[in-house]
Homo-oligomer: A and B are copies of this chain.
Amino acid sequence: MAAERAGQMDATSLGVFLAETFPQVAGDFAIESVTAEGLVLRLRVREAHLRPGGTVSGPSIFALADVGIYLAILARIGPVALAVTTGASIDFLRKPAADADLLAEVRILKLGRSLAVGDVLVRSDGAEAVVARASMTYSIPPKAAG
């Protein structure tokens, strides 16, 4: 837990944290890599994520962006289960490829004492075109500063 005490979590410890804290959704996600700017998160697309016509639903893409930015914040400050999303904007740009997972490329743009902001580009696995763009703000509880 030395890395976490130092306020840094790698892909493995983020995965463990996700499984323990959000057991109901953890199986949907896989942390591909932790990068200098943020991380890459995979949504394992299943039947439950789809809308008629085979499109991944908007709320599923929203959840991917939300979990991705949340984990990227934790990668920097360590496990803070109580960070909460206060605001988000999202643009749905293209229909995702059928039968492909989605990959979210997350950047942390600000990590302040009380607010963190990140943005995300979502693409179908193996494709270049951007499926969605999102940015979100998280409120970080005071205890996290200690």
CA A135 to CA B52, docked complex, whole Å? 23
Q: Which residues of B contact A81 (CB under 8 A)?
A: 52
Min Cβ gap A105→B in Å is 12
Query: Which range contains the number of A residues in contact with the other chain?
Result: 35 or more
Within 8 A of B (CB), among A7-59: 21-22, 24, 48, 51-52, 57-59
Q: Would you call B89 and A85 a contact (CB within 8 A)? A: no
Q: Is A59 touching B63 in the complex (CB atoms < 8 A)?
A: yes
* Other 12 A-B pairs with CB < 8 A, given A24-B48, A59-B63, A86-B92: A22-B51, A59-B60, A85-B92, A87-B137, A88-B88, A91-B117, A93-B109, A93-B110, A94-B110, A109-B121, A110-B130, A133-B135
